[in-house]
Every structure is written in C-alpha cells, then in structure tokens.
Structure 1
Amino acid sequence: MNQSAPEAKLPSIGDYYSATQLRADRWSALREAAESLTRHGHTGKRGAKLVAEAEALLVALDPIERYWAFPGYTAFSHMKRMLGARTIPEFAFAARRVARALATGAYRRRAVPLTTGDADADVLDDDASLSPSDRALGRPYFEVIIVDHVSDAQEKWLRSSLLAMRRPEDNFAYEAVVVPSLEDALIGILFNHNVQAVVVRPGLALKSLNKLKILNNYLSRFGEEEDVDALEPGDYGPETCRLIAKVRPELDTYLVTDRSAEDIAGLDLGGCRRVFYNQEDFLELHLNILRGVNRRYKTPFFTALKEYSKQPTGVFHAMPISRGKSITRSHWIQDMGEFYGANIFLAETSATSGGLDSLLEPRGPIKEAQEFASRAFGSRQTFFATNGTSTCNKIVVQALVSPGDIVLVDRDCHKSHHYGMVLAGANVVYMESYPLDRYSMYGAVPLHEIKGKLLALKAAGKLDRVRMVLLTNCTFDGIVYNVERVMEECLAIKKNLVFLWDEAWFAFARYGPTYRQRTGMNAANVLRERLRSPEHAKAYEIQQKKLEGADDETLLKTRLLPPPDARVRVYATQSTHKTLTSLRQGSMIHVNDQDFKGEVEQSFHEAYMTHTSTSPNYQIIASLDVGRRQVELEGFEFVQHQVEAAMGVRRAVATHPLLKKYFRILTAGDMIPEEYRESGVTSYYDAELGWSDQWDIWTRDEFVLDPTRVTLAVGGTGYDGDTFKTRILMEKHGIQINKTSRNTVLFMTNIGTTRSSVAYLIEVLVEIARDLDELLDDASKMEKLGFERRVRSLVEQVPPLPDFSRFHDAFRSAGDTPEGDIRRAFFLAYDEDNCDYLDLDGSLRDALEEGRELVSAGFIIPYPPGFPILVPGQVISREILAFMRALDVSEIHGYRPDLGLRVFNDAALESAAEKHV
C-alpha cells in the first residue's frame, strides 16, 4: 500500500498532538477519497492512486479503531474488505456515513446503518441541526471497555451477552468495546473519551500489541512510576483497577475475578465499585453500570429547582420578579421576558420562601450537590459561592487567620488576597516571584524563596506565628507550581502550616491526568496517604540524621521531607465560571484539612456567613451543580479538546512563514528560567523535533507552563498589547481576550473552544501579518524608521519590574523579618489629614531625590499587569517610581492623575510609630 499520497495532503502522524485529532482528520480524508473513487472509478492511473490513498488511510486508522465502539472493529474490517473487493459504491456509502456520524455525534443518538441495503439508509445524517430540546429528550450515550484476552468468537459473545441486557426503559444507552490487556485498557481510557465504565475480567493480558507511536505515548506517562512488568498474572486485574483510578478517578470499574474474597480484600482496587466472583451475571453487571453512571449524572439542586419551577405558586414575598409576574404584567419591559425566556423567572425564588434549600444552612439538595462536588474534585468538603472567587479567598483567609498571624503571600496575586489580609489583620510577608522584565510580567514564587522566608522566621523565633502560605496556581499567564513538593518542603519546616491555593483559573485541571497531579486537592490526598506509610517514616528518620546540625543554606538546597505527624491542611478556591460551565460568579471552595472539624469548622461557618449573601442567586447554584455533572461525565473529553486547540495554535504560529515574521508564542523557555526546568525542555512543540513529552515535564520541573495559555508576543507588529487587543482584535475582528502586557496578548482556550475558533484565530493573525507586510512595502523611509523605533521600544526598551521594597517601620514588628501590618496602614489612610498627594514627575520625584522616605497610603494597581505595585504601608522606592513613570497603560487603580500619588505625611507616620511601640 502506498502511504505517501495521503501524507502529502495531511500532516504526518508525528505532527499530531493527539490521536483524537488524527482519527477525526483521517476519517474526513477517507470520506473524500471514497467520494473521489465514486466519481472517477478505481481503474487507470488516477483510480489506482485513489485506491492507494484509501488503503493508506485505513492502515492509519486500523490500530485506532480497536478502542472505539463506533463504527466498531467488525464494521471497520468489513469496510477494508469492501475496498479490497473494489465494491466502491458500498465502501463510499459506509465511509460517508461513519465520517458524518463522527462529526455530528449522530451515533450517540441512534443506530447508524453502514450498508446500502438497510431499511433506514436514507435517513438524514444531519443530527447537528437538532434543537437543544430535541437533544435533551434523547438518552445520553457512553461506552464500556471490557478488558479480556479472548478469541474473536468469545469477544462477540461477551459484547452480545452484555448488550442483550439493555432495556427500553434504561436511562442511558451504551455500547461495549473489548480490549485484551492492561496496557490497552489504559490507552483506551486516555484515548476514548466516550468511556464511562471499565469491566476487568480474569483473562486479560499485560502488554499491548499495538505499536502505533501516537497511542503508545499515552503509556509513557506511567513507565517510570509503575513497574507493571513485575506483576504476576493473578494481579493484572486488581492492578488495572488501581491504575484506572489513578489516571481517571471519575470512571467506574468492575472486577470479575476467580480469586477468593480474602485475597481481594487486602488489595488496592482503586475506585472499583463492585467485585463479581467468577460468575457471568450480565444483568447485574448491566444494572451496576447504569447505576454508577447515574450516580454522577444526578444533579440534586438543579433537579429540585426544575421541579419547583413547575409548581403553581402564589407569590407573597419580596421578589416581584419571581414567577415573572412583574414582567408579564408590564407594558414596557416585555422585551426582557422575551430575551431571557420563562424558565429563568419561574425558577427565581428565595431561601426563606420554602420548597428549596438554603445556601447558608444547607440541609437538602444544596448540601447534597456540594457533597457531589466534593467527590468530583477530590476534596473532603466543598462549599458553593455565588459572588466569585474574590469572596471565596476572603472567606478562607478570615476563617483561618487571626490578627497578628503571619501569612506568606505571593506579592503579585489577585487583589482579593491583599484585601483579605486587611480584613483579617494579618502580618504579611510578601514573597517575590521571578520577574520576566522582557514581557512585563511576573512568573511564580520559587521554592527557595518560600523556604528562605520560613527559615528566616524560624531563626527569629516567629515560626509559631506563621499561619498560612498563599499562592496562585496557576497564574494568569499559566505558570503552574509543583504543588506537592512545595507543601512537602514547607511542612518539613512547620508541620501544621495551612496552604491556600488560588486555583481561580485551574478548576478544569482535575480532569486532565497530566494537570491533576499539580492541583491542591490531589496533592493533599497524595500527601495524606504518603505520610501514613512506613516507607516515608523510615526515609524521614534517615534524612533527619543526615541533616542534624545543618545550616540554612544546606536546608535550602535539600529536598526536605515532612515529619510523619505533619498535618495536611489545604484549601483551594476555584472560579468554576472561568474555566468550567457555570453562570458568572459561580465559584467553589474545596477543603482538605485534617484539622477542619476540630479547629476551623465554626470560624469557617462564621466567615462564610459574613461574606455570603442571604439572597444568593439560585440560578448560579444550579449551574454549579450542572457544571459538576458535566465534568464528571465529559470533563476528560473537553479538557483534552481544550489542550488540543491550544497546541494547534502553537504549531500553526511556529510553522507559518508569514506569522513568524511578526509574532511568536512564548514557550516554557521564555517564561520559566532554566534552573526551574529540570527536564531541560524549552517548548511543547518544535518545528524540527515535533512534540515534547508533556508528562515528563509536568512530573519533574519545579514550574511548568499550562499549554492552554497561549501568550503571543506582539511587539514585532509595532503595537503594544493593549492597542493590539482593543483596536485590532476586538474592534476589527471581534476576538475577545482578557489579559495583555506591554508587548504580549494572552489567548486562553477553554472547554468550549472549537477547532473552527482556532482556525479563525489563525486566519485573523495571518491577515494582520499580511496587512503589515503591505503597509511596510508602501511605507516611506521615515515611516519604516518610525515602525522600527516602535518595535525596539516594545521589544527592547522595557522597564524592569520593581521588587517589593519593604513595609515602613511604623507598620512592622521588631526584628529583622519583613512582615508588616497592612491593616493598620489601610485604615490609617481613611483620615485624609494623614495623607498628602505628590506628583510623579514633580514633588514625588524631588522628595525621593532629597532622600525622604515616602510611604504609600493605598493600593496602586496598574492594568496591565494587574497586580499591586504598592500596598498600604509600603515604602516607595526609586525603582517603583521609574516603573510607574514608564507605564503607558490606560488605568492605574488607586492613582489620581489630577492629584498625584497618595502618601502618608510625616506626622501620620510618627503617630503610627508611637502607637505601635
């Protein structure tokens, strides 16, 4: 078979980031080849070439189709025979139906006939035109993997025996696919996003015979961590269950075994939901499979809200809009009712009206929905919030931090954390992230910086006052911490330290196996298990003997182990609405704190009551419930597509000759210094080397780059980031983005991003580059010099980012440690008599040159970059002044251009110092 023909039209297999993309493109190409064969025939030179094309595409698809129930390997093999027999019309019909059904998802809603003799062969293919209400009436579809090394006849019997148990009254529809080995099961669950359950039978083998490299890339993720070669055959089944739970914990597994109950009881079976002992009870297996999927499908609060909206109710409480009455009776706002529809108003009610549940004191469907969310995200408790992660951050800080407690804070974190420190009365130690001056952004806080601050506080005798470490993971720009290692080493210094991970932009990470290892909840669960193990206790004792009498420098260079009695105390706040499906401001707080019940529960409840509205929006709560259902059932699929979309953008910009002239996507090598990249990998994609092993990078490096954050350097266009965003992307092309820096714009793919969206973005960038080419072709010499000067200004003449200077002594406690009382400084500024305004280019500059110590009276937050460069009580340095003067952004929160920068006057500082003493 000639495989060169299709490769000339399509990217090579090595160019594909995922086998899912490869499969979709190969089926589309097969349909085109089959239709060409129908038009031109299979004889002659042209016909032979088309046949060779189709044969090569079938060869590429053959190892892939073994993991999918549709069209099924039996049907796929029949298509190969049809092409071999040159029955072209039948082959073309089948290829067209499969390609169409895969593109539209029609196979999920009905049987798709692949032979022209079927009675309903003329049924329209275009299921994509179905309305949402029609789709909602159908039964959700999924696939079940059966792991067993059997003959073709036995495989057919297994599938038919299980599928024969399906009934018309079942809530879900499913098909089964049989794979022979443990490795094939792992490939299947990582490749086939339709899989919701796995049945592991005793006859399975260990190794896969599938040698397609793009599929075996999935297996490389476990090569170093799991020694599967050492397994005995009797352990293949239990180990398969354990590994499935590690890779995709949301899936249901069922073990069929001939081992005794006593043997099985002592084994780790992961999330195995049922063990069947050497019996072929297919009805019971079928019912368990449906029950397991329904467990994730249930949405207690959304269902309750829907039922409430159907009830006839007389409204006599303080919500005129409830049931839509104030709208339907109006002569002037009927357009609002028409725009939003009836259901949103029928479901509008209050917790005090009865019939539903209270977010502040949940006992019914809200409580159950939060418990489901806790299961879905790996926490011990989960709490819903309807006014964003800003409020979640303040709730956690207020619940855990008392006035005078020391908190280590990522200095360029979201402003809600800084305000949370004010509310709690914390003494703040700001930690420095590594700067990326060239792109006017910060990275993340290195581990040696965190450990250094903790060791300094320990040396000063203040470790008992240190309460919390607060970090942003991942950062807005996509820098991700090695969460597990950070917590391990910090707990080695203070064993009951609390961690707050701001995962506002990282809620989706739980459902990507690569991502999950760097989430707060997953790391907390791993640590809890590890600290209980005898192996860890022994390793800790050995290290303690080795480090006896070690100085701080040695401790900084050593990967420290926490004591076995360390307490795992982890909180994560997530903006569900930012990266998953939820209405605006829908957020969650996830808790994995061993001391929550005994120490924190009451104060957490009080903080939650303080910041949560007594009239929360029920639509937001319902959307959180539904968003949880979605990620438990299809989060893996959507996150995979999200990553694939971003990788497609990276590859396109890296390889397109016109785009490379003006644009560049920043790589890990650009955004993470070499000393924090143990893997040595600089980029996820290289035009010559292809794709890097993402699993290896995420397992080893201190910091990694979230590939779904695509930071595009636009300085080469002569436009600054804000202008490129507003005038070029939004006004001219209708492309919306959130964040810019002086010379970059940030594109974020999400679970709703499609390949069409990516294609449009690339088209727009090509058009912009082409317009620049034409503009420069027609430009005069002086115009070209002006363009080059603008580019140099944006690319080379970038002001350095200032470090945090220090808190003024009036707001610091005694000693050499840097903590400051931000609360006292914040409220001192409430009295205008304590403040003066100084002009940046006049009185402020002159005062600094005279050697005066000037102290900020408020938060100064330029957009971009969007983090405070000054906080209340902070001494203003020359570097900060230089940075502010160099800023060319449209807004600086806290700065009054008409008055200047607000600072404390000398009298206020003297008075504050006296009261402090």
Structure 2
Amino acid sequence: MNAQTHGRKIPSIGDYYSATQLRADRWSALREAVEALSRHGVEGRQGQKILASVEELFEALAPIELYWAFPGAGAFDHLRRLLENRNFEDLTTVIRRVVRALTSGAYRRRSIPLVANEADAEDYEDEGALAPEARALGRPYFEIMIVDHVNEHQERFLKSSLQRMRRPEDPFIYEAVIVPSLEDALIGILFNHNVQAVVVRPGLTLKSRNTLEILNKYLRRVGEEEDVDALEPSDYGPEACRLIAKVRPELDAYLVTDRSAEEIAGLDLGRCRRVFYNQEDFLELHLNLLRGVNRRFKTPFFNALKEYSRQPTGVFHALPISRGKSISRSHWIQDMGAFYGPNIFLAETSATSGGLDSLLEPRGPIKEAQELAARAFGAKQTFFATNGTSTCNKIVVQALVRPGDIVLIDRDCHKSHHYGMVLAGASVVYMESYPLHPYSMYGAVPLSEIKGKLLALRAAGKLEKVRMVLLTNCTFDGIVYDVERVMSECLAIKKDLIFLWDEAWFAFARFGPTYRQRTAMNAANNLRENLKRPATAKAFEKQAKALQGAADDVWIRTRLAPPPDARVRVYATHSTHKTLTALRQGSMIHVNDQDFKGEVEQSFHEAYMTHTSTSPNYQIIASLDVGRRQVELEGFEFVQRQIESAMSIRRAVATHPLLQKYFKVLTAGDMIPAEYRESGMTSYYDPEQGWQDIWHSWAQDEFVLDPTRITLAVGGTGWDGDTFKTQILMDKYGIQINKTSRNTVLFMTNIGTTRSSVAYLIEVLVEIAKELDELLDDASRMERMAFERRVTSLVEHVPPLPDFSRFHAAFRSAEGTPAGDIRSAFFLAYDEDDCDYEELSKSLIERVEAGEELVSASFVIPYPPGFPILMPGQVISAEILAFMRALDVSEIHGYRHDLGLRVFNKAALARAANR
C-alpha cells in the first residue's frame, strides 16, 4: 500500500519493521487526510484523491485495531460510518481526539469521548511531560485480552460486566479487548504491549482471519515450533494458556472451562493463575486480574525505603548526611540540597542502624525483592550488587573456583574475569574468538574451539580438573551465542561443568520473545526439562555407541547430545544499570545451579561477603527493585521499541544515497562468518528485499547479531573511530557513545531511546556526509589524495588481530595443557627488581623474531579495541608487537609510553621455573 495524505506520501507497509510503528504513523496520516477532506470536500479531482487516501488508511488500520482496547473495534466502526455518511466535521473532531490520546497517552489517564458532541477536557499533555508527582497520583492502566468467539451483543455484555466491577479503591484500571481465536490471542500478545492478562474462554476458535502480513509474522514465530493445526477443539483453551506462557511468560492467564477438574489438573497450562469452571463470576475474575498485576507491581524494598523516609528519626550513628541534617545546617552546600531534593537524604541510612534490611544477611524486604527478581529473570536465586558487574563476576569465580581448577575462558572477555582468575588461583585456558580483521574486533568463541579445548584436556588426562566455562553473552559488539546448544554439547564431554555467562549487556533480553531463547537462565530451564525426557536418554545412548573410539575431530563435527544425568549449573551476571532502569553500579547475579544448595551456598556467601560493601547504597538497591517491576510490566513494550529504533537506523543508512557514500552499518554477514550462520541470513534489512524475519536465524544459527547494536563503519570519512567519537559526535553534536574500534563506532539503543533521538542521529549523520561532500568538492588535488590515503589506511591497511601466544613454561599450571597460572605471574610482578621495560620498537620485533623470549609482567589492554592482548606470564609474540605498533590510540592500560612494555627479567623467570 502506498497511501498518500494531503501533500505527503507516507511509507508503504513494507517499509515498517513493526506493526506498532505502522499503527502510529497510519493514525497520524489519517488525521492529516481527514482534515484535508474536511477542508476540500469530495468534489473535484483533488477531493476524490483525498477521499481514496482516507478509505485506504481505514482499510490499513481495520485489521490492526482488532487487538487494541483503545479506541476499540466498536469506536473504529463508528468512525467508518461517519466517513460513509460524509460527516467530515464530526469525523475530523473524533479522529483528532483519538490521535492526540494515542500520542500523549491520555487514554491511559481518563476516558476519551468518541462522539463529537460530547465535551472533552482536552487534557492531552504527553505523559512524559507530566511531573512525576502528577503521574504517580494516577492509577496505572493496562488492558486484558479475552479470547472468545462472541457476537457484538455478547462482546458488549462481557465488557460492561467487567466495567461494573470497578471500585474507586482499585489500585489499577483496565479495559478489555476481545479476540475470537487462539491465533489472534498469540498475535495480540505479541503486538499489543498494553496487555497484562489473558482470559481464555470456552468459545474460542483456532484460526485467525487476519491476512495482514506484518501481523502474521508474529504468528509464524510460534508456528515454526508448534503444531497447532493438530489440536482438538477441547484443547484450544489449555493450549492457548501454555503458548501464552511460552511466548510471554510474564503475563497472567486465566482459563474459563467446562472440563472436569481432574482433566484440567493433568494438563500443561503454562502459568495459568486460576481456572474458572464455566461460571460468570465477574467480581472474582476482576479481583484476580488486579491481584495478578499487583503481584508484579510490588516493590518490597522500595516501599520499605519510602516508608522509612517518612518516619521521624533521631540520628546517632556515623552518617551525617542521613535525614539531610548536615546539609540543612550548612551555609555553604545548600545548592546540593536544592539539586537533589529532600527525599534522597531522608532515605539515606545504614543497615547497622536498624529499620531496614541488610544486603549481606537479607531477611526482610531485600530478600523478598531478590526473590521477585529471580522470578522475573527465570532464575532459582538472584543476588543484588551495588558495585557493578565487575564485582559480580569476581564473586561467582571466587565462590566456584579453587586454586588449580582449570577454567576455559574467552580471552576477549571483560578484564574483571581475568582479575577473578588471579584472585581464585585458577589454571586458565584461553579460548580464541574468531577475528574480524577489517574492523579490528573479535567476534565470539566458536563451539568447535570450546569442544576442541575440552577434548584436548581429556586427552591429556586433565578433564576432571576442568571446573568452568566462562563466556560473554552477548559481546560488546552484539554477537550472541546459542547458549543452550553450547551447554548441551559441553555437558556431553563433561557432565558436571559449571557455566558462567557474562550477560552484562543483555539484561533486557529476557523480555523479548526472540531474545529470551538465547539467555542463560532460559537455556538452563530448558535444559532441566530436556534432560528429564526419555528421548534425551535414548539420543545420548545412541550417540555414545556411534562415537565410541571416534577421533576428536569427529566429536567436534558432531552435534553432541548431553547425558540424562548431567547437572545443570548455570550462573549469569547482569549489569542491570546498563540496559534496564537502575542507578549506576546496580547489578544482579542470577543462579540456576542444581548443586547450589548442597555444594556452593556457603562458599558463595563467603565470596559475597568478601566483595560486597558493608555500607551498600540503599538507593541502588531500591532502583533494582523498581527496575524489576518495570520490566515485568512493560519490559516487552520497551524492548520492542528499542529494537524498532535500531532497525530504523539500519534502514536509513542502507537507503540514504548520501549516507551510503561514507558510512556502512555492519550486518550479520559482515560480523559473523558464513559457517556460523546456518540460516543463510546476511542482513536484517536489504534495500531490494526489505525486512528479514530474525526469528528464523535466532532459532538455528550458532551466532546471531543483536539488532539493538548498530556498528557503523566510519573509515570512509577519513576519521578513525576514536576521533569520530570524540571530536565529531560528542564535541560537535553532543551524541554520546562509549565503544569504538579503529574504523567503527557502536551505537546502542536502549529502553529509553525515542524516535526523536533516532531522527536526530540520522540528521547528524546526513549533515556530516554533506559537509564531507562540500569539503571534497572544494578540495585541491593534494587534499583529495590525503583524504583518500587516510581512508585507505583505515579501510584496507588494518593491522591483523593477534592470537593468544602461550604462557611461558615457568607459568604453566597443568603439564601437557596450555593452562596457565596468571596468579603467580601477577604477584611476581609486584617486585620491581624482577621486571624490566622494553621500548616498543622495530628492533624489539626483530629480537623476538630471532628467538628471544620476552614475557609480559602485566595485563596490556589497548582502548580501543578494549580486550587484553597480553596477560601476566604470556610470551610476547612478534604479531602482538606489530599490532601494538600499528595502533593509533593513546590509551593502553598496562603500557607506559615513557618506559615501554613491562617484562620479567631472566632471573625472575629462572626463579619462577624452579618453584
């Protein structure tokens, strides 16, 4: 469809990634068109053209509005009748109200009159523009979806019956939308982000009559894995509940049925919260709906902190800022009190002063808040942290790894893991990620590399010493693992492996159905279920016979099945503050370990006590509690919008002729080699083919690319990534980013990204491209040559990324294996007499190529790219030195520009070798 409003052609349906964006823009276009129609009438060629556009827009919106309570199918039909009756004045009035209410969110706060002669309060101020105090006074709004094939009269009866149950003291307010079929329910919960509960009634049918492609793609995601066509009518209701839990597990489901209690008790109803036996008890249903939403709305610690702040308290402990006394009595820091306001100081206290819970020994509201977080993220236990995920990583490693245990670790992971290995005294085996040489970044660790390292350790007789596999999911650049497959195949080699998944940048993923399947906690729960199935035992026994005596390369090529007695032992760390609503340093540790209670709980508690402050910031804890509430109630909506924002940027760069000259958004095909993309998908958007459905690739590829991260190649501008970040984006346009490589910059959308900020970014990129065009138009021949050389240097002459070399023999920790003891090397470097400095010169490379052995005494981490290229105890290769010389960055942690590389001298290495 290529509808055109008065004077403006709007994008076709194929231009939209999501139906939500399509809906918003179609309503806006309809308002413009009916206003033009009201002015011009239907006479003449122009009037007929506008009328055709209005009718076309109504046709586009009709299948979409079935799934929303506002304005609702009845109101939409009323608008169409106004059009048919040529009542353009009333039509214009009502559509203006609808569009303003949808845009501002006013329908969530009050009733919007949809009859033109009804008075309207005209309160259309955008929700985001209202003061927090004003918004907090209102009752949160949500929608329920009733699944039942009813006629118009029955629909009015259902809605009015629930409306009559409302009471002024209800904490929330809701409206109902009714859909006829199981398929419509699945489309609806994936499309309508306002839905918080689904009521499944006996009259539902199976199939949807909706043929709109942009909506049916939601249905295909479920249909690829579920054979709904084989269902008997009596199973539609229970199956609807199960599928709702699979697609959107945070939603409440209620089943109304006439089947016997005994039959229902034996069925999988997903997370159905209540079964009603064919009775019209609307009050009971109403109360259950409110109670179910309130279950997610509860924030036990935040509420306790608010209550504490209201109490009169005399402070006689070591916290002068508590209650704001040290500020209110001051003559010199009143500006601090004015800036922050009183509440933050009224809520400032200490666990030792009483009145609130302790993070170190939670028994009250913190304990309850952590239990709610575990439910929200699919964990068995969750622990809050107030000093970042760096600390979370060290807690988990210290709790699980003993000195001498072998840990397989991604070399390019966050430096906190490497320091954790030092503290735990682990024997480290580094695994190599696949390199992306043209962009000076690494991808992720292939499964063949992980299995190869495990099998090599088995061949060396050291498999029993292997304790943990540690990987980053997703990587900073957005590469996401098939987590369940990695764990299943590794457990086939060693059935008691522990997995630590650093999901610092992936906390939001739990709340997107596509993303959820690749999160650590979801994969752990799936594994638990799969290991119980008889088919798993049969598959393992069959494969064990086939692989008996097989060479390691056969094991690597084979998709391995886990043994049924494997233990599921999975940990994930989240930088909640990075991708969800939480104050800086607010993080979580999620645990799904079958042996936690019996084996780990005590050591975990000790590690937690070791690294957690005895004076944690209560504001951070409260923000974690509130952030959890938010994602359980609107995480789905926010994540969907986040993805939409990122996809808009992708499409803009791919289709704008000027942007294409200087920029390129790196696609899955650019960042993931073909052998790891079984689906064959290369790009989420292609200018010729349009949008690709990411669900298929996320279901089967070894690695996928997180679409919310946009890696923009900027080498074509002649600026390196760091210069483009600081001098262009930040200094000139006020756009903040924090990740670059030699020739790329990374834009990360988040749940707070708006369409306006996306539009501004695109405007800025276009302006930069225009300025470059003008600069080159006026450039001399020599200036053009200089520009082209800079571009060539950044795009073609990129230094190859170095591989991990090896640990020096003095720091090998397991004979016959590549495992290294970085702890002994780390602490040996404390003595300056054991270290020398080597200038980073060409002659140094020649010495190393000639056979001289130099060993790093410290971690060396250049920014960008931000991964360690040298560890304590690692032999320095000529390739690493060449890479460092080619780097054009000023920030290299562990390297002294005035002295050079810090290395161990020969005497120190000799002593270390003779330990």
Give unpaired runs (5+ residues) of structure 2. Answer: none
Contact kept in structure 1, 2:105 and 2:126, CA below 8 Å? no
Show CA shifts across 1:768-797 (max 9, x none): 000000000000000000000000000000
Structure 1 position 354 matched with structure 2 position 349: no
**One-letter identity of the residue aligned with 1:741:** S
How far apart are the structure 1 equivalents of 2:94 and 2:730? 43
1:864 and 2:864 correspond: yes
Deviation per residue, 1:660-714 (Å, 9 max, x gap) = 0000000000000000000001000000001111100100100000000000000
Asked if structure 1 preserves the Cα contact closer than 8 Å seen for 2:382 and 2:588, the reply is: yes
Displacement of 1:850: 3.9
How many percent of aligned residue pairs carry the same amino acid? Answer: 79
Instruction: Check the 8 A contact 1:187/1:216 in 2, yes or no.
Output: yes
In the superposition, relative to structure 1, how do residues 733 and 122 fare at CA in structure 2: closer, same or farther (>3 Å)?
closer
What is the aligned partner in structure 1 of residue 672 from structure 2?
672
1:371 aligns with 2:371: yes
Q: 1:840–1:901: 8 Å Cα contact kept in structure 2?
A: yes
Superposition deviation, residue 124 in structure 1: 5.4
Residues 147/814 of structure 1: CA separation in 2 closer, same or farther (3 Å cut)? closer
Give the drift of 1:545. 2.0
Deviation at 1:44, TM superposition (A): 2.1
**CA 1:893–1:128 in 2, change beyond 3 Å: closer, same or farther?**
closer
Provide, for residues 43-94 of structure 1, a one-character-per-residue CA deviation record: whole Å limited to 9, x for no partner: 2222221111111111000000000000000000100110111100100011
Kindly indicate whether the alpha-carbon contact (under 8 Å) linking 1:388 and 1:587 is maintained by their aligned counterparts in 2. Answer: yes
In the alignment, the residues of structure 1 paired with residue 39 and residue 129 of structure 2 have an alpha-carbon distance, to the nearest angstrom, of 28
Question: What residue number does 1:913 align with?
Answer: 913
Distance in 2 (alpha carbons) for counterparts of 1:349 and 1:482: 43
Query: Is the Cα–Cα contact under 8 Å of residues 297 and 633 in structure 1 kept in the other structure?
Result: yes
1:10, CA displacement in angstroms? 1.2
Deviations 1:227-267 (A, max 9, x none): 11111111110110000000000000000011111111111
1:162·1:283 contact (CA, 8 Å) conserved in 2? yes
Which residue pairs with 2:463 in the alignment? 463
- Residues 446 and 7 of structure 1, relative CA distance in 2, 3 Å threshold: farther
Alignment partners' CA distance in 2, 1:102 and 1:257:
35
- Give the deviation of 1:538 after TM superposition: 1.7
Return the TM-score normalized by structure 1.
0.99
Q: Hey, what's the Cα distance between the residues in 1 that align with 2:116 and 2:75?
A: 14
Counterpart position of 1:895:
895
Kept in 2: contact 1:2–1:53 (CA 8 A): no
- Which stretch of the first structure deviates more once superposed, 835-844 or 733-742? 835-844
C-alpha distance in 2 between matches for 1:3 and 1:735: 35
Could you tell me which amino acid in structure 2 is paired with residue 160 of structure 1?
Answer: S
Q: Which amino acid aligns with 1:666?
A: L
Alignment of 1:410-429 (within 5 A): 410-429=410-429
Residue equivalent to 2:532: 532
Alignment of 1:761 with 2:761, yes or no, is yes
Paired position in structure 1 for 2:310? 310
Distance 1:6 1:580, change over 3 A: farther
Rounded to whole Å, the distance in 2 between the matches of 1:36 and 1:125 is 25
- Assess if the C-alpha contact under 8 Å between 2:127 and 2:135 holds in 1: no
Cα contact 2:395–2:607 (8 A) shared by 1? yes
Q: Distance in 2 between matches of 1:127 and 1:808?
A: 61
Matches within 5 A, 1:87-236: 87-120=87-120, 129-236=129-236
Compared with structure 1, are the counterparts of its residues 7 and 823 closer, same or farther at alpha carbon in structure 2 (3 Å cutoff)? farther
Q: Which residue of 2 aligns with 1:263?
A: 263
Closer, same or farther: CA 126–407 of 1 in aligned 2, 3 Å: closer
> Is 1:594 aligned to residue 603 of structure 2?
no
The aligned runs of 1:693-732 (5 Å cut-off) are 693-732=693-732
Deviation (angstroms), 1:8: 7.0
Q: What amino acid is aligned across from residue 389 of structure 1 in structure 2? A: T
Equivalent runs, 1:464-503 vs 2, <5 Å: 464-503=464-503
Query: Counterparts of 2:115 and 2:264 in 1: how far apart (Å)?
Result: 46
C-alpha distance in structure 2 between counterparts of 1:845 and 1:658, whole Å? 43
* Amino acid paired to 1:689: Q
In 2, Cα distance between equivalents of 1:351 and 1:5: 62
Contact 2:5 2:30 in 1 (8 A): no
Question: Given that residues 5 and 52 in structure 1 are in contact (C-alpha distance below 8 angstroms), is that contact kept between their aligned partners in structure 2?
Answer: no
- The alignment covers a number of residue pairs equal to 915
SS of the counterpart of 1:658? helix
Q: CA deviation at 1:547?
A: 1.9
Aligned to 1:832: 832
Deviation of residue 2 (structure 1)?
Answer: 9.4
SS at match of 2:422: helix
Contact kept in structure 2, 1:165 and 1:283, CA below 8 Å: yes
Q: Is the 8 A contact 1:2 1:56 kept in 2?
A: no
Q: Distance in 1 between matches of 2:32 and 2:386?
A: 49
The alpha-carbon deviation at position 41 of structure 1 amounts to 2.4
CA distance change for structure 1 residues 7 and 152 in 2, over 3 Å: closer, same or farther? Answer: farther
Residue 646 of structure 2: aligned partner: 646
Q: Within 5 Å, which residues of 2 pair with 1:539-554?
A: 539-554=539-554
CA distance in 1, matches of 2:564, 2:517: 21
Equivalent residue of 2:332, what SS?
coil
SS in 1 for 2:752: coil
How far did 1:736 drift?
0.2
Which residue in the other structure is 1:560 paired with?
560
- Structure 1 residues 540 and 313, CA gap change in structure 2 (3 angstroms): same
Q: Answer yes or no: is 1:750 the counterpart of 2:750.
A: yes
The residue aligned with 1:687 is 687
Match of 2:27 in 1: 27
Whole-angstrom distance in 2 between the partners of 1:425 and 1:126: 56
Q: Per-residue displacement from partner, 1:123-175 (whole Å, max 9, x unpaired)? A: 55666542221111000000000001111111111121122211111000000
Task: Supply the distance in 1 between the matched residues of 2:104 and 2:540 (Cα, whole angstroms).
Answer: 55
Distance 1:127 1:794, change over 3 A: closer
Q: CA separation of 1:894/1:127 partners in 2, compared to 1, >3 Å: closer, same or farther?
A: closer
Q: Which amino acid aligns with 1:23?
A: R
Residues 27-36 or 347-356, more deviating: 27-36
1:694 and 1:778 map into 2 onto residues whose CA distance is 44
Paired residue secondary structure (1:710): strand
- Decide whether the 8 Å contact of 2:101 with 2:124 is kept in 1: no
CA contact (8 A) 1:34 1:92 kept: yes
Paired AA for residue 651 in structure 2: R
Q: Which segment is superposed worse, 506-515 or 214-223?
A: 214-223
State the AA in 2 paired with 1:620: I
What CA distance in whole angstroms lies between the structure 2 residues aligned with 1:681 and 1:286? 46
Quote the residue 1:387 is aligned against: 387
Per-residue CA deviation, residues 378-407 of structure 1 (Å, 9 max, x unaligned), is 000000000000000000000000000000
| 1:813 CA drift (Å) | 3.3
Q: Cα deviation per residue 1:461-504 (whole Å; 9 max; x = unaligned)?
A: 10110000000000000000000000000000000000000000
TM-score scaled to structure 2, two decimals?
Answer: 0.99
Q: Aligned to 2:657, what secondary structure does the other structure show?
A: coil
Cα distance change, pair 16–842 in 1 and its aligned pair in 2 (3 A)? closer
CA distance in 2, matches of 1:205, 1:877: 67
Deviates more, 1:601-610 or 1:91-100: 91-100
Query: Is the deviation greater in 808-817 or in 28-37?
Result: 808-817
CA distance in 1 between partners of 2:166 and 2:557 (Å): 60
Q: 1:503·1:573 contact (CA, 8 Å) conserved in 2? A: yes
Q: Which amino acid aligns with 2:466?
A: V
Write out per-residue CA displacement over residues 180-220 of structure 1, whole angstroms, 9 at most, x where no aligned residue. Answer: 01100000000000000000001110110000000000011
Matched to 2:116, the amino acid is T
Residue type at the aligned position of 2:570: V
Q: Distance in 2 between matches of 1:548 and 1:188?
A: 50
Asked if structure 1 preserves the Cα contact closer than 8 Å seen for 2:41 and 2:47, the reply is yes
Contact (CA 8 Å) 1:543, 1:561: kept in 2 or not?
Answer: yes
- Deviation of 1:4 (Å): 6.3
**Structure 1, 842-851 or 770-779: larger mean CA deviation:** 842-851
**Aligned-pair CA distance for 1:272:** 0.3
Letter in 2 for 1:29: A
Residue 425 of structure 1 contacts residue 821 of structure 1 at CA under 8 Å; is this kept in 2?
A: yes
For 1:662, the equivalent position in structure 2 comes to: 662
